[in-house]
Amino acid sequence: MRGPVCVALLVWLLNDAATREFSEEQMAAIRQRIKSMFYHAYNSYLDNAFPYDELRPLTCDGQDTWGSFSLTLIDALDTLLVLGNRTEFQRVASLLQDTVDFDIDVNASVFETNIRVVGGLLSAHLLAGRAGMELEPGWPCSGPLLRMAEDAARKLLPAFQTPTGMPYGTVNLLHGVSPTETPVTCTAGVGTFILEFATLSRLTGDPTFEDVARRALRALWKTRSDIGLVGNHIDILSRKWVAQDAGIGAGVDSYFEYLVKGAIMLMDEELLNMFQEYDRAIQNYTRFDDWYLWVQMHKGTVSMPVFQSLEAFWPGLQSLLGNLDSAVRTFQNYYSVWRQFGGLPEFYSIPQGYTVDKREGYPLRPELIESAMYLFRATGDHTYLQLGLDALESIERIARTPCGYASVKDLRDHQLDNRMESFFLAETVKYLYLLFDPTHFLHGGGSEGAGSWEEGGEGGQCVLGAGGFIFNTEAHPLDPAALYCCSRHAEDRQELRDILLSLSQPTEKSGHQSIPPTRQTEDPPPSQSESIALKPGEKKTLPPLSCPVQPFSARLSVMGQVFTDNT
């Protein structure tokens, strides 16, 4: 175990070194470099690969990879607005509406289509107001990009029609699930839907999407081992674990991510409780010296003493839960690997302190940069900005080609692969930019785009875009306030009317309580409400009494009495 000792020494040296402080002028200059990186890759895709899914940067042409959706364009759409380019956002949003068709005979990954296509369209829909697009009445509860996201998600629903509720991994967009489709899928492929599907349900009013995502989560929850762990691949029909390696990396990672982010976005205690129970088992059985190994899910014995690059999301997730000490130490381990190679190899042997055979590649993944963004927000420590600068310079030096940026086939000699995955523009560049822009509107500031808050919903009585965005696992930001606006705002207003009307009724004789009137089948106009201070039939315009930037389980108080979801 000489490797961990050397790594620990390197981490100590990193901590002992004086941290470079970045001025605002330096951060602004770095943001411009990141923009240049984005547009070199983006324009190369448009010029050489559109309408294919991805750019092949070594041969300057395109290929379809995940389903023939012009995937890179969908994935990059919200990044355009993050960088402040409203004009191109509007052009591409209109172009996608005219060119993308989901009624095609294509076998598509249910997982990838959800996080990249459905997530990307939902995020673009929710950012359309800030982008200056013409909005339908009632936005964000309606709109063309929302309808596209719903259309794509409906193509995935046949995969969930199983006895367990856990979805198949692949579905044909035109014909549904093939009779020969394998029932074996990875854990993340079962548990990574609640963010997009709950958003869809609450924006459209159709509960189907959230219902199937929750059913899959609950079915997966029941399959955990006696020591509280889940494996890597499961048979969705028999509920038997096919791969019994338990860890936080590839095949599992976003399942844990969605339990935490789903709990935050939906104010959902059930999801948080699930994660916390998993986390206790993860800390007990897989954590060693602030590394996380792979163990046998039933016994807890080490099966693979490796670090995978996909695990680098974990410190960022810990920071969301306030576990900063552990997050910082784990991040330092992962950062030491980055400094050793100029990127994160897909697999890294912790005992040997080196890459694993045939897993030496770096496809320009975003996870360590993502964690740096969260930890810089949480701590203000400029060490995380240094990682961002290291990443920017490393990618420019190793991966830049005349036609975009290429995946690194081997970090030992910097051989390149002829592929630029769509997540490079959706995640890697976006998280880099946001790392160096702490006042960005996605952080609750207002440096890019017009204004900080927006109005939405019927009558413009919802507050949107006030901060607290939740990023899906493809870095597509979702606004929890929009979910509230479409699913709860009208309900809250009706409940308030019921309360006020019940208070205005004459007190019943002793022994009988007044019964609030039955809800009307049709709401009055949103700007009007019955008032106990007015004569019968008289109307008065009232300001909205519900504030979606407050905790979404909170309601209102009347005469000192607090009303919650349970009262």
Active site residues: 112, 253, 346, 367
Backbone angles phi, psi at 362, to 5 degrees: -140, 100
Strand partners, 309: none
| 3-state secondary structure at position 348 | strand
Residue 473, annotated as binding a ligand: yes
Q: Report helix angle 194-204 to 119-127, nearest 10.
A: 50
Secondary structure E strands in 275-322 = 287-288, 291-292, 294-296, 302-304, 306-308
Beta-carbon contacts of residue 487 (< 8 Å; ≥ 6 apart):
201, 202, 203, 205
Residue type, 306: V
Amino acid at 288: F
Do the Cβ atoms of 220 and 274 come closer than 8 Å?
Answer: no
What whole-number distance in Å separates Cα of residue 167 and Cα of residue 157? 8
The phi, psi pair for 463, rounded to 5°, reads: -95, 125
- Token digits for 125? 């829909």
Phi, psi of 391 (to 5 degrees): -65, -45
Closest to 424 in 3D by CA, of 368, 364, 349 = 364
Q: Give the other-Cβ count within 10 Å of 410's Cβ.
A: 15
Which candidate, 22, 59, 57, places its Cα nearest to that of 41? 57
Contacts of 266 (CB under 8 A, 6+ apart): 194, 198, 480, 483, 552
244-283 burial: b if 16+ Cβ within 10 Å, else e:
bbbbbbbbbbbbbbbbbbbbbbbbbeebbebbeebbebbe
Nearest-10 crossing angle of helices 324-341, 2-16: 100
Full 3-state SS string of 82-140: HCCCHHHHHHHHHHHHHHCCCCCCCEEEHHHHHHHHHHHHHHHHHHCCCCCCCCCCCCC
Q: How many CB atoms lie within 10 A of CB 98?
A: 7
> Which is nearest to 84 in space by CA: 429, 449, 383, 400?
449
Residue type, 205: G
Tell me, what amino acid is at 47?
A: D
Pick the closest to residue 202 from 130, 275, 144, 149 (CA basis).
149
Are 304 and 293 in contact, with CB atoms under 8 Å apart?
yes
Q: Which amino acid is at 451?
A: G
Burial 418-446 (b: 16+ CB within 10 A, else e): bbbbbbbbbbbbbbbbbbbbbebbbbbee
- Binding site feature residues for Ca(2+): 473
Annotated binding-site residues read: 473
